[in-house]
Structure 1
Amino acid sequence: MSEYTMKLDDTTEKHLTLLLFADVENARDVKTKLINGELRCCVLKASLIVDPFQVVVAANKAALKEMHSRLTTKTVFTEILFDLSLSKNITQSLIKFGIDDAERNILVAVIHSLDDKKSIVQKVVSSIKGQQVSIDKLKDYTDLKLVRKTYKIEDTELTVSNLVDSLVSRISTKDFASY
């Protein structure tokens, strides 16, 4: 499966498509296009994503906030980065989960209606100079040590829960808990 598409909360009438790229040569250009609004997507460091469900939960929160005009950040795409992070500091969240100029392995998240999917995904794919790889390979690009450090997950927690469940719990409860 080269991409991953999932329907978000029914009330949003939106879907999420994830695309994984390796050996990206133009991260700086991609970042510039994101900042200028030329690309309608969220671009994440693949090293911090363990499972697509982690992004689905954050994207669903972001889409619901957008629908209710309650975004903390300026766009639904930066809201995904903010929702993935434990920090309530927007800048820290964007730096931690967003790409930097030297990023080589990226995960692209596109929130779209079914009618817009093809055109948006084509524009994103044509803007990235790198190899699109199957989303099934995501674990090959994940830095588990960095993920555990970022989300403050200790060995003892993993004796009663798996890593994905721990991450999703943190993302889901960010607004109510402090870690």
Structure 2
Amino acid sequence: MKLEVDYELTSTGDRISIGFAQNVKNTPEIRQAVLDGKLDAVVIKSSLIPDPLVIAVAANKAALYKSRNCMRTRSIQTEILYNLSSSTNISQSLKTFGAEDKDNTMLVCAINKDLSEAKELVDGEWSSLQSLHSDCDTKQLRKLYKLKDEEMKNLVNSLISKIAAKDSM
């Protein structure tokens, strides 16, 4: 059972490592470490991500924008959160997709490094990413992305399409 998955971000050759933490007891501490730059990672609300491929698509887009110097946010981590959202409002995107202090499950992602630093900090259980789908809040995703019944049948593909097409709509 693999507790971490790596994707190559094909637009730049960068890599993203993604892990799923449950029963997290120190979310405020983790968030503060990210904000202070002590943890070089992004923490994502896991209930809004049905599959790690969705994050990989958002990260690929963020890495491409970083390489072209045209990011809309200040860091690649916040650019990933922004790309996950259907909103063009940066603050709303970060608030919606970033893990909150009250969250006890989260996805932790790092660009071009493994998650060993995060694993030392997170006081919780690292779980298989295969269990991610059962944590997914499909009602909230339907509302956020304005998904139709037909799009809900293949949720992951629908979200990937929405993320990929965000800037062209």
TM-score of Structure 1 vs Structure 2, range by shorter chain: over 0.9
Cα distance between partner residues in 1 of 2:47 and 2:144: 11
TM superposition score normalised by structure 2: 0.95
Matched, 1:140 2:134: yes
Cα distance between partner residues in 2 of 1:49 and 1:74: 23
Unaligned runs of 5+ in 1: none
8 Å Cα contact 1:50/1:142 also seen in 2: yes
Residues 55-106 of structure 1 show CA distances to partners (whole Å, capped at 9, x for unaligned) of 0100000011111111111100000000000111110000000011111110
Return the letter of the residue paired with 2:168. F
Cα distance between partner residues in 2 of 1:163 and 1:107: 18
Corresponding residue SS for 1:72: coil
Corresponding residue SS for 2:149: coil
The count of aligned residue pairs is 168
8 Å Cα contact 1:45/1:103 also seen in 2: yes
TM superposition score normalised by structure 1: 0.90
What corresponds to 1:100 in structure 2? Answer: 100
Corresponding residue SS for 2:88: coil
Instruction: Spell out structure 1 runs of 4+ moving beyond 3 A.
Output: none
Residue identity over aligned pairs, in percent, reads 37
Cα distance between partner residues in 1 of 2:110 and 2:91: 21
Cα distance between partner residues in 2 of 1:131 and 1:157: 32
The offset of 1:156, in angstroms, is 3.9
The offset of 1:144, in angstroms, is 1.3
What corresponds to 1:39 in structure 2? Answer: 39
Q: Which moved more, 1:140-149 or 1:95-104?
A: 140-149
The offset of 1:142, in angstroms, is 1.0
Give the counterpart of 2:119 among 109, 117, 125: 125
Return the letter of the residue paired with 2:3. S
Cα distance between partner residues in 1 of 2:129 and 2:4: 6
What corresponds to 2:154 in structure 1? Answer: 162
Matched, 1:29 2:21: no
Cα distance between partner residues in 2 of 1:157 and 1:24: 32
Unaligned runs of 5+ in 2: none
